[in-house]
Structure 1
Amino acid sequence: MRIDIPQGADPLAYVWGELVPGIGPAAAALSLAVYEHTTLGLREFEAARLRIAQLNGCLFCLDWRTERDGEKVEDGFLDAVADWRTTDSFDERTRLAAEYAERYALDHHHLDDAFWDRMTAHYSQAEIVELTMCVGSWLAFGRLNHVLGLDSTCVLSAPGTRRSSPAP
């Protein structure tokens, strides 16, 4: 942990809520909004989210699985995300979501016309903006949690112990 947490305080609640009260709650609200208000399908949402988690190294984000109406992605999905280029587990939308997340995080200056032609063939403009906002949120906040060491305070160790909403 790279931030001093008062004795007995929850590290996430302290950093995200108390330490910077003018920014933290607003950031947490954005983080939660991408889960509560997304219109993206679960598989493309999780493919992009998990690809960012892999690139960020955020332990909590890697452990978390988004649940919708009792459904989660299948076991092995995280490995498929790492192999998004070659996996036969993904349809084109899911593969593009993982690719977009990776390129957004690592090489956003080189999202060329050929890439955008593929994206617009499978995603509406509203979906592209939504996916972009989600990816930006995960990139920023997953890195924040990892860099400050907060991700190790909220790792979920056993199935069935997942929180109802992700850490900010």
Structure 2
Amino acid sequence: MKMRVNHYAVNPEVYRAMTQLETRVRESGLDRVTYELIKIRASQINGCAFCLNMHTEELRKMGESEQRIALVSVWKESPCYSDQEKAVLELTEAVTLISEKGVPEELYQRVRNYYSEKEYVDLIFAINLINAWNRIAISTGMFPGCMDT
């Protein structure tokens, strides 16, 4: 396999801007495990092998169990996620698939049971950012190992 284009090299200014946004979201106070679960679920939905590989590895490094990593795609039926995590995963699906039904008020209220208004906005930025990364990776032909030298 071969990448179509190396967006890092072709447009480093835009790449730097994206990484600055990534840093801001990561430093927002959002729980790191929650952030990685968001990244995995969005990457599954979008079919981004590069990002899915990266973020499952990140959770492994953080000490997450293989069960929790493997069952993200079936979180609704999995007792290993808290109600709070399930609300975030549902929000991730809704925002990623926004054209299907938007973000229902009931879901917004359920997420707000666990998160402040600012934290809700942090979640929305986190979800949108991984969706952007997925679209960049897929469009440029990235795949697991493509950046290895």
TM-score interval for Structure 1 and Structure 2 normalised by the shorter chain = 0.7 to 0.9
Deviation at 1:94, TM superposition (A): 0.7
Q: Is the 8 A contact 1:47 1:95 kept in 2?
A: no
SS of residue matched to 2:77: coil
SS of residue matched to 2:71: helix
Q: Please report the RMSD computed on the Cα atoms of aligned residues, expressed in angstroms.
A: 2.3
* Gapped regions of structure 1 (runs ≥ 5): 4-10, 156-168
Of 53, 60, 69, 1:63 maps to: 53
1:51 corresponding residue in structure 2: 41
- The Cα offsets for residues 5-52 of structure 1, whole Å up to 9 and x where unpaired, read as xxxxxx4xxx22x312442211122234433x1412233222211101
Equivalent residue pairs, number: 142
The question of 1:98 aligning with 2:89 is answered: yes
Same amino acid, percent of matched pairs: 21
* Gapped regions of structure 2 (runs ≥ 5): none
Regions of 4+ moved over 6 Å: none
TM value normalised by structure 1:
0.73
The question of 1:124 aligning with 2:126 is answered: no
Q: Give the number of the structure whose alpha-carbon radius of gyration is greater.
A: 1
Q: Is the 8 A contact 2:48 2:134 kept in 1?
A: yes
Q: Is the 8 A contact 2:87 2:107 kept in 1?
A: no
The amino acid that maps onto 2:4 is R
Distance 1:138 1:104, change over 3 A: same
- Point out the structure with the larger helix share: 2
Q: Is the 8 A contact 1:44 1:93 kept in 2?
A: no
SS of residue matched to 2:78: coil
Distance 1:94 1:80, change over 3 A: same
Q: Is the 8 A contact 2:41 2:89 kept in 1?
A: yes
The amino acid that maps onto 1:41 is D
The amino acid that maps onto 2:46 is N
The amino acid that maps onto 2:31 is G
TM value normalised by structure 2:
0.81
Deviation at 1:90, TM superposition (A): 0.7
CA distance in 1, matches of 2:68, 2:25: 20
1:75 corresponding residue in structure 2: 66
Deviation at 1:53, TM superposition (A): 1.2
1:113 corresponding residue in structure 2: 105
Question: Comparing 40-49 with 141-150, which one deviates more in the overlay?
Answer: 40-49
Equivalent runs, 1:15-26 vs 2, <5 Å: 15-16=7-8, 18-26=9-17
